[in-house]
Structure formats: structure tokens, C-alpha cells
Amino acid sequence: MKHNLSIIIGCFFFLATTQAQTLIKQEKEQRVEITTTYGNIIIKLYNKTPKHRDNFIQLVKAGYYDSLLFHRAIPEFVIQTGDPNSRKSNPGDKLGDTDLDYKIPPEFVPEYYHKRGAIAAARTPDSDYSSSAGQFYIVSGKRWSTKELTKVMNEYNYAGKMTLFSVIMATDSVKEKFRDYNFRGDSAGMVQYSLKLKEQVDLLFRPYQMDFTTQMIQQYIKPGGVPHLDKQYTVFGEVVSGMEVVDFIANLPRDENDRPLRNVRIKMRLLP
């Protein structure tokens, strides 16, 4: 009986250990080395943004990024790369408008935000939040005060609610309702209806509302980031080492299009 029990216990621990090892293996985040003209940057890709992670890995394997430039560099903001036209561009050429012919669906994860060192996908301003397939940026960022963070949050939420309110106001049923109140001269009814619409907007916008957690506030105060980009661009990784290289590139002399005057060429490889 004791012998059978020891076998059962042994099997249990074997299975538990195997499952734990499998879990660790699944959770291991892929690391990528970005070799630049001015030093190396090591990044890791988040597993909770699998579409962006897998696309990035595929492009690195295919050598897509090799010989491209960091075509955009802004101090205390970001450095950006991924434009295929940058590979054979001439000095002074405007870059940043070219990309691969497909998009990546947005993958917004609340715990991933634009802290210093964050890796995020670029996108065109008029898109549906879908990401550029090839272009991405690294956040160098700046330090923010709590007052500044509150202003960023309030401005984002106000603009978002006003946009949603405008969409609702443009619907035929709502316009007809206001015409009816106006025809009857029912100002009180119009005010009450407007308040109900405001409540509806607040409810609909709640999942998209910007709220900084204590951790995010501490991160943005020090070491910093770019909080006004949150909830607009997918963050899918972060810098593990080499932020001094990111800062150096971000502070290079640049032209009116924020392209560094000295070419910053890159090459990438997956790390084991």
C-alpha cells in the first residue's frame, strides 16, 4: 500500500513539474536584438499581444528590418523605424509614409502603456486603430507631473465623449426627437432628453475611458513616458537593455521632418 502510494505521489510531482515547465516555456517572452549604428538595443515582445508579436517575429526572420533607418527621432518622445523606403533613401528624403500592404488588428492591453522604453506599433491617424504592419516606435519619453497627467486624462476623455456625442446627435432618430421638442416649444423636455443622452454617452464611453492607475502615475512621474498616446496605439513590447542608445538616437540633430541628419541604420536578430 505504501509502495503504491509513493508511486502515486511520484507521478503527481512528475506531472506537476512537467506542467510547470510547460507553463514557463509558454510564458517566456521572445527577445530581439536591434543592432544600430550607435549601439545595441534588446527588446522583449509581450505574449498578450500575439498578433503583433507573431508579425514582428516573422518580419525579423525574413530580414525585413535589416538596413532600414530610424527615420524619425524626437527628444523626450519617440524614435521610429520600419519604412521600407528608408533602406535606399537619399539624405533629406521625407520618410515615414510607406509601409507593408496589410494592417494588424489593435491589441490594447490595460497593463501595457506608453512608459519609457515601451515598443508600440505606428498607424495612420485616420485608421480604425489598426496597426502598421512594419513601422514601430520606441518611447524615450519625459517625466510628467500629476497635474499634467490629470490634464492629459481629462482632455482625452472629454474629446472622446464629445466625438461619441456628435455621432449620436447625427442619428436620424435623435434629430427627429429634437425637431419634435423644438416644434412643441418644449424646452424643459429638450433639456431632460439632452441629459439622458449625456448619461448614455458616459455609459458607452466607460470601456474606453482613460484612467491612470497608481503604478502608471508613478511610472510616468519617474522615469517617464508619453501618456497621451495610451489607448490609441498598441504597445506590444519593451526595451530590456540599451535605453542609453535610444536616448542618444532621440537627441541626434534632425531636419524639419524629424529625420536624423546622420543615418541610423539597423539590423535585427531573434535571441534564444
Q: Could you read off the pLDDT of 22-68 as tens digits, one per residue? A: 444 457 999 999 999 999 999 999 999 999 999 999 999 999 999 99
Reduced to 3 states, what is the DSSP secondary structure of residue 114? coil
Whether the Cβ atoms of residue 224 and residue 144 lie closer than 8 Å to each other? yes
Residue 26 is predicted with a pLDDT of 58
Instruction: Based on the fold, state whether residues 113 and 202 are members of the same structural domain.
Output: no
Residue range of the domain that includes 245:
29-143+225-271
Is residue 14 domain-resident?
no
User: Do residues 194 and 241 share a domain?
Assistant: no
Tell me, yes or no, whether 80 and 129 share the same domain. yes
Query: Are 158 and 263 part of one and the same domain?
Result: no
Per-residue pLDDT, 27: 75
Residue 2 lies in a domain: no
pLDDT (tens digit per residue) in 184-242: 999 999 999 999 999 999 999 998 999 999 999 999 999 999 999 999 999 999 999 99
CA atoms within 13 A on the CB side of 76: 6
Looking at the structure, tell me whether residues 134 and 249 fall in a common domain: yes
Query: pTM of the entire structure?
Result: 0.85
> What are the backbone dihedrals phi and psi of residue 32, each rounded to the nearest 5 degrees, phi first?
-135, 135
Specify the DSSP class assigned to residue 203.
H
Distance of CA 206 to the CA centre of its chain: 20
Neighbours of 155 (CB within 10 A): 12
On whether residue 85 sits in a domain, the answer given is: yes
Q: How far apart are CA 172 and CA 39, in angstroms?
A: 58
pLDDT category at 128 given cuts 50, 70, 90 is confident
Q: Which amino acid is at 217?
A: I
Residue 98 and residue 158 in one domain = no
Report the run of H or E that residue 261 belongs to, with start and end. Answer: none
In the prediction, which pLDDT does 124 show?
85
Query: What is the Cα–Cα distance from 142 to 137, expressed in whole angstroms?
Result: 15
Q: Is the pLDDT of residue 12 over 50?
A: no
In whole numbers, what is the pLDDT of the chain averaged over residues? 91
In a domain, 168, yes or no: yes
Domain count for the chain, please give it: 2
Based on the fold, state whether residues 131 and 231 are members of the same structural domain. yes
Residues 138, 152: one domain? no
